[in-house]
Amino acid sequence: MIEIRFHGRGGQGTVVASKILAVAFFMEGKWAQSFPAFGVERRGAPVLAFTRVDEGEIYLRSFIYEPDQLIVLDPTLVDEAGFPAGLKLDGLIVLNSSEPPAAYSRLGSYRVATVDASAIAAKHGLGTAGAPIVNSAILGAFARASALVEIETVMEAIRQEVPAKQEENAKAAMAAYQATILE
């Protein structure tokens, strides 16, 4: 089983991203589940969401405490206390950042992939320039960095699950896929 934890802020589409990823895995014939960690979320507050994927049925129904991979929609969350709590030693961090992965050497031996999902989302008219909705773009980066799901499948899941601007979101995912830096 592969467990993925999403770190974002309210309004960035973190919960929707976890659902889209689960749908993409399902479309590729895998078992998947996604769910959020809800509290007193408000726009801008930290949000967690989770996705699990496996070749067989998933019976586990708990938060993900030791993820294989992290998807981070807001780079300021990297500086929060405890980040990247529980990430397995060979884990991957896919990070929305205009900086290259080398700028995050403080994260230790984790594999880090970066993409400027905020700029890509803004370019495709997703959200506003000051508050871009980066979920589709970060999923494109995840497809590239993880090689666990095909970008075409992610784009199709976006078209099915995103409530508005489906083509713009799908194009943002492809742009991020092409712009992702993995060192």
- Report how many domains make up the chain: 1
Residue 40 has pLDDT above 60, yes or no: no
Condensed to tens digits (0 to 9), the pLDDT of residues 101-129 reads: 999 999 988 999 999 999 999 999 999 98
- Place 180 in a pLDDT band, splitting at 50, 70 and 90: very high
What does pTM read for this prediction? 0.95
Give me the domain span that covers residue 16. 2-182
Rounded Cα–Cα distance for residues 113 and 92 (Å): 8
- The pLDDT score that the predictor gives to residue 109 is 87
Rounded Cα–Cα distance for residues 136 and 153 (Å): 12
CA 55 to chain centre: 21
Query: What is the SS3 assignment for 128-177?
Result: CCCCECCHHHHHHHHHHHHCCCCHHHHHHHHHHHCCCCHHHHHHHHHHHH
163: CATH: 3.40.920.10
SS3 label, residue 96? strand
